[in-house]
Amino acid sequence: MESSLRRKDRSRDPSLPKGRQVGDEALEHVAGILGSLPRRRDLLIEALHLIQDHDGHLSAANLAALAELFRLAQAEVYEVASFYHHFDVVREGETPPPPVTIRVCDGLSCEMAGAKGLIESLRAEIDPARIRVQAVPCIGGCDMAPAAQCGKRSVGRASAAALLRAAADPQEPVIPDYQGLEAYRYAGGYASLKRVLSGDISAETAIEVMSDAQLRGLGGAGFPAGRKWSLVRAENGPRLMTVNGDEGEPGTFKDRYWLEREPHRLLEGALIAAHVVGCDRIYIYMRDEYPAVREILAREIDALEAAGLLSTPMELRRGAGAYICGEESAMIESIEGKRGLPRHRPPYIAQVGLFGRPTLNHNVETLSWVADILQNGAKWFADQGQDEAHSGLRSFSVSGRVKEPGVKLAPAGIPLNTLIAEHCGGMADGHEFRAFLPGGASGGVFPASMADLPLNFGVFEPYGGFIGSHAIVILSQQDRVADAVLNTMRFFRDESCGQCTPCRSGTDKIVRLLEAGNADPALLDDLGLVMRDSSICGLGQAASNCVRHLLKYFPEETS
């Protein structure tokens, strides 16, 4: 008797190849959307964005057509599309999503500002056939909590009424006033780049100045910028450069703040760094949650090229809603058009990075200081720290229970009590300072009694935390630290790329234990130890920091 598989094979039209067929109509439709976009593997995510923007989703027929146009296996295209949160993959027989999507952040700062109630009220009022409401992780609007997006339009201090009004015309972002190229040049911008290009400032001198200024990587790791330039420059060319604009750490919004105001500080710094290190091309990876920033950068890169100032070619790449792509090797995988899975190290990306080439990677804020430091000198920057032990200035993203949340430019090493009192207007009315997260969800949570410690790299590490991207979230007596910790663990569970078991299973197990409310502290501690010791990247290694501190500093909330 023939097997059912063989009977199925014999029913197939033998004139057609095996597998899902690609329709001519879908091919024509997708080709029309892509236009002149090159059919290159590394542009797969850009192509997926174009289709998603045009159709509002990714149908099975269009994914098959895209695979045909890019000469890729359909499974390869599907695995990339289904990895990223912002791609709506619609399988055969499924109903496409409604034409309008409202995304409401349920991150810690927004949860404290009433995001859960906002989501519930929206879902009670909307027509689900026309509007979809999604609870999403941090979208970089913590200073305007609760933050939301309607299509590409950001809405701060959102209410149901405001979001429903935005839903009537949600597609285009609102572009804020910002300093364009002409105004930046009038204020002295690109003078440092010209000195570097002319040889007035040599590569060796530029590296020495960055080292003497003690400029560090301000995306979280704090690696000395001058040393990084030396390491990558020492590698055989050709070399590439990446700019990490995927600030997805809950509580972090400083990159958005500066890029919506002074984008050319980043662009000039990137061009200087690329020339000094000898990079052939710059790739700026910007998170999808910042549509206004992407539009600003696209405009100003075009303006630079028209003015003859684009000394190194730049490409602007768009993320697709994956926190893990803030990790440098996962970001590189995404730029190459793949799933954002972190790479094993070594080799480090300074040796084998983007497209297999030595790669210089920097955060937005780090590069934004480069031109100023070359213009004013290393001592000018270093002396602006709190004292001799803490050099330079920092952009602190402060949110939570303070009167004036926002980005606060302050000396490195400033104590948190001073930052709150002198830069944030004090605590919000009716709130008493109880606890704080010094580095977003990853950096741990500490009692207010430790708020006299200097805010800088290396300070919180002995206590099992870190300052990371300088994302400060303030909690008061009205907040349960256990609830804040559960919020962070749900975030890590949802954002784990799933590549390694300690992170994938560990985050889920911790969430279930915390939700049950009777977790064994010894078991939680063991889970955290395994995750820290055996996870591939920083997500799994740091995810349990808040849990560890909950057990140590706030044991009354776990009994």
Mean pLDDT of 86-97: 94
**Per-residue confidence at 1, pLDDT binned at 50, 70, 90?**
very low
Question: Using omega within 30 degrees of 0 as the cis cutoff, is the peptide bond preceding 447 cis?
Answer: no
Residue pLDDT, tens place only, 167-226: 887 668 999 999 999 999 999 999 999 999 999 999 999 999 999 999 999 988 889 999
- Return d(Cα 66, Cα 143) in angstroms, integer: 39
Residue 417 main-chain phi, psi, to 5 deg = -60, -40
Residues 6+ apart with CB under 8 A from 515: 486
Is pLDDT at 3 greater than 60 in this prediction? Answer: no
Distance CA 66, CA 27 (A): 7
Structure confidence at residue 470 (pLDDT): 96
**pLDDT attached to residue 518:** 76
Instruction: Please check the confidence at residue 33 and state whether its pLDDT lies above 90.
Output: yes
Q: Which residue type sits at 439?
A: G
Condensed to tens digits (0 to 9), the pLDDT of residues 404-431 reads 999 999 999 999 999 999 999 999 999 9
Write the burial class of residue 8 (CB in 10 Å: 0-12 exposed, 13-18 middle, 19+ buried).
exposed
pLDDT of residue 11: 63
pLDDT above 90: residue 12: no
| Per-residue pLDDT tens over the stretch 334-343 | 999 999 999 9
Strand order of the sheet with strand 153-155? 131-136, 100-105, 148-150, 153-155
Residues 520-538: what's their mean pLDDT? 93
pLDDT at 168: 84
Cis peptide leading into residue 238 (ω within 30°): yes
The pLDDT value given to residue 5? 47
Give the least confident one: 220-224, 449-453, 498-502.
220-224
Q: Residue 245's pLDDT is what?
A: 95
pTM: 0.95
How far is the CA of 501 from the CAs of 249, 504, 507, in angstroms? 22, 5, 10
Q: Which residue has the higher pLDDT, 5 or 437?
A: 437
> Residue 275 has what DSSP assignment?
H
Is 40 in contact with 82 (CB distance < 8 Å)? no
Q: How high is the pLDDT of residue 219?
A: 87
Residue 474 has pLDDT above 80, yes or no: yes
Backbone angles phi, psi at 276, to 5 degrees: -65, -45
List, in sequence order, every residue forming a beta bridge with 472; answer none if it has no partner. Answer: 398
Residue 400 near residue 438, CB atoms below 8 Å: no
Whole-angstrom Cα distance, residue 154 to residue 140?
10
The per-residue pLDDT for 426 is 97
DSSP 471-535: EEEEEETTS-HHHHHHHHHHHHHHH--S-SHHHHHHHHHHHHHHHHT---HHHHHHHHHHHHHH-
User: What are the CA-CA distances from residue 133 to residues 116, 160, 172 (Å)?
Assistant: 12, 11, 18
Could you tell me the two tokens for 158? 């959102």
pLDDT band of residue 291 (cuts 50, 70, 90) is: very high
pLDDT above 90: residue 480: yes
> Tokens representing 499?
């590549």
Mean pLDDT, all residues of the chain: 94
- Whether the pLDDT of residue 549 is over 60: the answer is yes
Mean pLDDT of 82-108: 95
List, in order of start, the domains of the chain with CATH numbers: 22-90 (1.10.10.1590), 100-166 (3.40.30.10), 181-376 (3.40.50.11540), 401-557 (3.10.20.600)
Q: Is the CB of residue 465 less than 8 Å from the CB of residue 438? A: yes
* Cβ 243 vs Cβ 284: under 8 Å: yes
Which pLDDT belongs to residue 36?
96
Cβ-contact 113, 159 below 8 angstroms = no
**Arithmetic mean of pLDDT, 388-393:** 91
pLDDT at residue 557 is higher than 90: no
Q: Which residues contact 271 (CB under 8 A, 6 or more apart)?
A: 193, 282, 309, 310, 311, 312
Residue 4 has pLDDT above 70, yes or no: no
Q: Is the pLDDT of residue 20 over 90?
A: no
pLDDT over 70 for what percent of the chain?
97
pLDDT in tens, 41-66: 999 999 999 999 999 999 999 999 99
The number of CA neighbours under 13 Å toward the Cβ of 480 is: 9
What local confidence, expressed as pLDDT, does residue 2 receive? Answer: 47
Amino acid at 484: A
* CA gap 395, 378 in Å, rounded: 18
Confidence check: pLDDT of 83 > 70: yes
Query: DSSP letters along 383-409, please?
Result: TTSSBTTB-SEEEEEEEESBSS-EEEE
